[in-house]
Amino acid sequence: MPDLRLMPQESLTPSRLRIELLSGLTVALALVPEAVAFAFVAGVHPLVGLYAAFLVGLITALIGGRPGMISGATGALAVVMVALVAQHGVEYLFATVVLMGILQITAGVLKWGKFIRLVPHPVMLGFVNGLAIVIFLAQLGQFKVPGTMVQTDHGMSGGEWLSGTALYTMLGLVALTMALIWVMPRITRLIPAPLAGIAIVAGLVIALGLDVPRVGDLASIQGGLPSLHIPMVPLTLETLEIILPYAVILAAIGLIESLLTLNLVGEMTGKRGGASQECIAQGVANTVTGFFGGMGGCAMIGQSMINVKSGGRTRIAATAAALFLLIFILFAAPLIEQIPLAALVGVMFMVVIGTFAWNSFTILRKVPLTDALVIVLVTVVTVQYDLAIAVVVGVIVSALAYAWNNATRIHAHTRDSVTETGAKVYEIQGPLFFGSAAGFTELFDIENDPDAVIADFARSRVVDQSALQAIEAVASKYEAAGKSIKLRHLSPDCHRLLKKAGHLVVDSDDDPDYQLAVDYGVRTGVLGGAEG
């Protein structure tokens, strides 16, 4: 990923407060069309998406795992929700969001967020690249004539593309916004560059009366305060059977995207930790949102990038973004609806440029072939399907590649024992687990070995039941040949595995502190004694 590490968090001075508030305003402006668009994708009223952006954004800003992150309604969740809404209605969606939140809280309490550490770096690269492409593709819908897209069981589709003068004007305004965002930091940092770009382009469009798509062409964002709303669904087992599968999928997608975004923001700001806290925050936010007529949400990498790059370092920016969004809904809808979509598209295109790991093209030529394939695979699956599937696929492929590489590392050096005359020592090297168990059994020359054999595991590790079974198999073969084998230098965790398996384990008194020499007697009694 590009080196985006930023300066450490500053103290809360008037200058810092101004930056935080302006950053929050910028994010709020970018949230409006996204929330409306994702509501359309899910097949619900735009206010359902806006309320989710406000509530999820506010709660996660206050109690989330890392300052700087922005959460709200997302496309990754919307594409799953659309089938539920189409088949059962929006009330079942609200109930599902509540259950989704409860599942996420449970994951946080059980500290499952720590498992995000298992996501390898190639998967992270594929994640940011795939998400950058998804953000880019999502903006292309703004180049269609407003009102021409139709609702289907799979979300909004169809629509007529802009053409002629309308298209060229739109493209010109997008390019102007991107140019302003690029040049503004070189002129002044008093105002976040994305906010300056939006303000200047919006002012130009309004002053010249240009006929271009605006936020109000998507839908009216005028509304009131979100009110308490108990989902109107029957409290029956049948209802649970309907919403549980969706809740599990939504909870998983929401947590995966949130925790990966948390890691990305952490790399940018130099912060670490907070995974379990973020799980709880996302869960509380979604549970509350489900009871207030929102569609739920999770962390948003695009808006998080806008916030951090605009200077947001504390919880103030994310809190301000949520509150500004509420102000837009309650009081400033007519003004916000005049903002040209081209300005917001330009901001998101700059987010795409900043998010995509351009150095991955160089990395692909330098890293092992498996890692390169994982980067490409995760990117493609993210674009074609969804983030959760992409991450799971990437982790599985990486794990299988790791297992295969370790399976080929098992080998042994042989020598004569210095303490037992006539005994042959096998110095095992490499991990012994399910992948290398077959190779382990092939290391021993049972037919030609002497009557006494010692297997030294000082440079190995017995990992699982398959490894224990392989040891038993070798011992049985030696017994059948009228020979014996002794084990030496098994580590403490191997020691525990052997005890758990119910085998006789006798500690050697002269073991060094850093490892255990254990006697391993199989049920046949052919194993025993430790060298040294």
Residue 520 φ then ψ, to 5°? -115, 105
Averaged pLDDT for residues 11-34: 91
The set of residues, in sequence order, having a beta carbon less than 8 Å from that of 413 and lying 6+ positions away, is 426, 427, 429
Beta carbons of 116 and 263 less than 8 angstroms apart: yes
As a whole number of angstroms, the distance between CA 313 and CA 488 comes to 54
Q: What is the band of 498 on the pLDDT scale with cuts at 50, 70, 90?
A: low
Q: For residue 148, what pLDDT band results from cuts at 50, 70 and 90?
A: low
Percent of the chain with pLDDT over 90: 49
- Please give the pLDDT value at position 4: 39
Question: What is the per-residue pLDDT for 508?
Answer: 45
Task: Identify whether the C-beta of residue 283 lies closer than 8 Å to the C-beta of residue 103.
Answer: yes
Identify the band that residue 6 occupies on the pLDDT scale cut at 50, 70 and 90: very low
DSSP 288: H
pLDDT (0 to 100) of residue 18? 93
**Where do you find CATH 3.30.750.24 in the chain?**
411-521
- As a whole number of angstroms, the distance between CA 455 and CA 488 comes to 6
At 150, the pLDDT band (50, 70, 90 cuts) reads low
- The per-residue pLDDT for 12 is 79
More confident residue, 513 or 192: 192
**Region 492-518: what's the mean pLDDT?**
46
3-state class (DSSP) for residue 3: coil
Tell me the whole-structure pTM to 2 decimals: 0.77
Count the Cβ atoms, other than its own, within 10 Å of residue 49. Answer: 31
User: Which of 24, 94, 40, 70 minimizes the C-alpha distance to 328?
Assistant: 24
For residues 283 and 292, give the distance between their C-alpha atoms in angstroms, rounded to a whole number: 14
CB-based contact 318:68 (threshold 8 Å): yes
- % of residues, the chain, pLDDT over 70: 88
- For residues 402-438, one letter each, b for 16 or more C-beta atoms within 10 angstroms of the residue's C-beta and e for the rest, the string is eeeebbeebebeeeebeebeebbbbbbbbbbbebbbe
Residue 467, pLDDT above cutoff 70:
yes
Q: Which residue has the tokens 């073969």?
A: 477
Q: Tens digit of pLDDT for each residue in 272-281?
A: 768 999 999 9
Tokens of 158: 């169809």
For residue 468, the model assigns a pLDDT of 82
pLDDT of 231: 96
Q: How far apart are CA 196 and CA 179, in angstroms?
A: 11
E-state strands within 52-110: 71-72
* pLDDT exceeds 70 at position 383: yes
At 494, the pLDDT band (50, 70, 90 cuts) reads: low
Q: Are 242 and 88 in contact (CB under 8 A)?
A: yes
Q: Give me the pLDDT at residue 532, please.
A: 37
pLDDT value of residue 9? 45
Domain 411-521 has CATH 3.30.300.20: no
Mean pLDDT of the chain: 85
How large is the average pLDDT for residues 179-193?
A: 90
- State the pLDDT at residue 332: 94
Task: Kindly tell me if the per-residue pLDDT of 292 is higher than 80.
Answer: yes
CB atoms within 10 A of CB 42: 29
Side-chain-facing half-sphere of 477: CA atoms under 13 Å: 15
Return the structure tokens found at 351: 């987010």
